[in-house]
Amino acid sequence: MTAQPQRRPILVVDDELHILHVVSLKLSNAGYDVLTAQDGEEGYELAVQSNPAIIISDYQMPFVSGLELAMKLHKLPETASTPILMLTAWGFALNDDDIAQTNIVSVLSKPFSPREVLEQVEQLMAQQEPAHT
């Protein structure tokens, strides 16, 4: 039996503990390693330290918003291409200029289905896997 290559974790950043719990549980149950942060500052530090495969972030958070987090990470070579799935409360829209300054690949409005988040993660992970020859 050959060892599987170590997969990079998925980082979930949200100031609402129940959302952190639901999303991280859904991803963990699907076999992903998950890191969590409760605000944008902590999310930034974890992203720089862990180089996650995907970041799932709330838009509206204390200290550093999800959009600010995405912009800061887009400026760093090690996280510039990390795909970000943004979660927004109804009424918080991201404009094209904001998205152009980030690596936000998808926006989901709250309330969302944890299954929908998992499907998006699986699609993004499949895009990142090297082609098998």
The per-residue pLDDT for range 68-96, each reduced to its tens digit, is 999 999 999 999 999 999 998 865 667 77
User: Which tokens hold the place of 18?
Assistant: 């129940």
User: Which tokens hold the place of 17?
Assistant: 């503990």
Q: Is residue 4 part of a domain?
A: no
The CATH number linked to 19 is 3.40.50.2300
Q: Is residue 26 part of a domain?
A: yes
Q: Is residue 61 part of a domain?
A: yes
Q: Is residue 109 part of a domain?
A: yes
Q: Is residue 2 part of a domain?
A: no
The per-residue pLDDT for range 26-57, each reduced to its tens digit, is 999 999 999 999 999 999 999 999 999 999 99
Predicted local distance difference test score (pLDDT) of residue 111: 87
Predicted local distance difference test score (pLDDT) of residue 100: 75
With a threshold of 0.75, does the pTM exceed it? yes
Predicted local distance difference test score (pLDDT) of residue 107: 87
Q: Is residue 130 part of a domain?
A: no
Give the residue with greater pLDDT, 127 vs 97.
127
Looking at the 3D structure of the chain, how many domains does it have? 1
Q: Which residue has 């992203």 as its token pair?
A: 47
Q: Provide the residue range defining the domain that includes 109.
A: 10-125
Q: Is residue 131 part of a domain?
A: no
